[in-house]
Structure 1
Amino acid sequence: MIQQKVHQKVNDIEEIELELTRFNAGRALSSQDKRLEEIRIGSARLLIEATGPDSLYYNRVKGFGIADLEHLDQIVSEYEQRNARPCFDMAPTRLNEQVALALHRKGFLPTDQLAFLEAEPAEAAAVHPDITIEPVDEGNVDVLLEAVSDLMGGVPADILARKKRYFTLPEFRNYLAYSDGQLAGIGSMFIHAGKGYLANDYTLPAFRGRGCQTTLIRHRLSEAKRTGLSTVYTDVVFGSSSHNHMLVQGFKHVYTNSFWVRDQ
């Protein structure tokens, strides 16, 4: 029973994370629109993005497991035909010794790990009264876009104008954190099938260590509660300071995946 529950959580997270990936491909502030292609081979789902063939995020193989070993050459070939670099996104429910050896024989090695966490939506009192949170809407979306543009080293105005609508959609809620009237940080919550996913957390360097992210996290958990979401997920680099911070804020570890790639 416990094993079934864990497997269901893995499936739930993979579903919302995949939906978020599709959404991110649409809203990406890139000079060329993403063309995310999806191919099913066996139980594996191939994500291929021709405009960014070296992007490990958009060129991932999800759902690959022992039942798909006979399709491994075909899967790799799909990427090679498009001059794309595949990344096998491996959840622990699908990675065993046989799968690891098969990937290794093809030159794939685990390079990074991502921890997936969950928390229950809950009303939380503000712990840093000098930090205020504003939801992003049509009236202040340009503030968010300007901040994101600065972080990216400058995004042309026509791209910002074309992608602006994504940042105020009801399924993609963005938040601005202010300290003493100055923009201090940003964060988002993606909503799908009654669940939330926290992402895009960033605190401006001058405001780090003041509780900005703590306030953003707790605000979004409160918003999730008020919205009626059942669960909130997020992902962090395993063992990072963000990983530790999320645990301190009440998130619990669900599983850790690994990314298998090979040198070009």
Structure 2
Amino acid sequence: MTEPTTRDSLFCDIALAGRIERAEAQLIAAWNDAARRRRGGSAGFAIPIAGGVASYAEPDSPINKIAGLGFAGLPDPAELDRVERAFADRSAPVQAEVAGLADPALLELLADRGYRLVSFENVLGRAIGGDAERVAPAGVEVRPIGDDDFDGWLEVVVEATLHPDTQGVPWPEEFPREILENAERDTAGLMRRYLATLDGVPAGGGSMRVADGIAQLTGAGTAPAFRRRGVQSALLAARVADATAAGCDIATIVVQPGSRSQQNAQRRGFDLLYSRAILVRAPVPS
């Protein structure tokens, strides 16, 4: 597989970070809406807060979080009170993801309310435009899928998530298989899904959401038996090519610091834009 030609690094200022975080908050809100439709509407919530969103879908869901804060003013204490009560009513901790380019006063505000730092995640990105080459090693094929191929895609993506690569900082959370399957099913209509095969056998999968000129490369994984074979790089290349064709000017991906995913993305021309601090507040009884 050929590596991308040399390109200028993408510089991320506060305006670009705010644009990326708004897209993230919009994704979480739409995803939450799909989960609530599946569960009957009343079980979860998505509360707008200071330009971001506080989301609760179901117990142990990966979208139970506050996203997108710090770029539209600080949240009012009364707003945070409401959000924290909503999580506490469901015996759930509050997890806030705060971009490193967000208003620094937000971290102080959350710390004063009992939030503690538990982890980080990295947001990578690259400018796109012009021609984008679809490259893949011999035997690897990546293609978008529809509903007919969903079950095979779901199996390989969930299997990859349940057996994460051990390089770098591990994800701070683990999720039950049923919850992961629910979450992936809820993305129907929100994302484009891609299946990677190696010699015709399902080996990995990923997804992409296009919004506001941003291609959010979401949820990629390779089944353990097929790792170190170029599957992830092929998935990246295919999605970047489709994002370019869709008129996007930037592609982003969220990875754990020092992970194989970060290494693969940087080899494909992605730059570290900023980190997100993951802060958690334990549920407080009403």
- Bucket of the pairwise TM-score, normalised by the shorter protein: 0.7 to 0.9
Tell me if structure 1 keeps the 8 A contact 2:141–2:196: yes
Partner of 1:94: 102
CA distance in 2, matches of 1:5, 1:213: 24
Tell me if structure 1 keeps the 8 A contact 2:36–2:57: no
Task: Report the 3-state secondary structure (helix = DSSP H, G, I; strand = E; otherwise coil) of the residue aligned with 1:124.
Answer: coil
* TM-score with structure 1 setting the length: 0.78
Partner of 1:141: 150
Answering whether residue 133 of structure 2 is matched by residue 124 of structure 1, we say yes
Aligned length: 251
Match of 1:252 among 271, 279, 286: 271
Tell me if structure 2 keeps the 8 A contact 1:69–1:99: no
Tell me if structure 1 keeps the 8 A contact 2:145–2:195: yes
Gapped runs of 5+ residues in structure 1?
none
Amino acid at match of 1:245: N
Answering whether residue 256 of structure 2 is matched by residue 223 of structure 1, we say no
> CA RMSD for the aligned pairs?
3.4
Match of 1:113 among 109, 117, 120: 120
Structure 1 range deviating more: 57-66 or 231-240: 57-66
Deviations along 1:70-99, whole A, 9 cap, x unmatched?
545555345435543212221223353x54
CA distance in 2, matches of 1:136, 1:29: 25
Tell me if structure 1 keeps the 8 A contact 2:55–2:63: no
CA distance in 1, matches of 2:54, 2:36: 19
Match of 1:172 among 171, 191, 195: 191
CA distance in 2, matches of 1:142, 1:55: 20
**Measured at CA, do residues 76 and 127 of structure 1 come closer, stay the same or move farther in structure 2, by a change above 3 Å?**
closer
Shift of 1:196: 0.8
Amino acid at match of 2:100: P
CA distance in 2, matches of 1:131, 1:212: 7
Amino acid at match of 1:206: A
Match of 2:19 among 3, 12, 21: 12
After TM superposition, the structure 1 = structure 2 runs for residues 1-264 of structure 1, keeping only pairs within 5 Å, are 6-26=13-33, 32=39, 36-41=44-49, 43=50, 45-49=52-56, 51-52=58-59, 55=61, 57-60=63-66, 62-64=68-70, 67-68=74-75, 70-71=77-78, 73=81, 75-96=83-104, 99-121=106-128, 122-148=131-157, 153=177, 163=185, 166-167=187-188, 169=189, 171-264=190-283
Structure 1 range deviating more: 241-250 or 179-188: 241-250
Task: Report the 3-state secondary structure (helix = DSSP H, G, I; strand = E; otherwise coil) of the residue aligned with 2:13.
Answer: helix
CA distance in 2, matches of 1:212, 1:179: 8
Gapped runs of 5+ residues in structure 2?
1-10, 163-175
CA distance in 2, matches of 1:33, 1:212: 38
CA distance in 2, matches of 1:149, 1:249: 24
- Counting aligned pairs with the same residue, the percent is 23
CA distance in 2, matches of 1:55, 1:143: 22
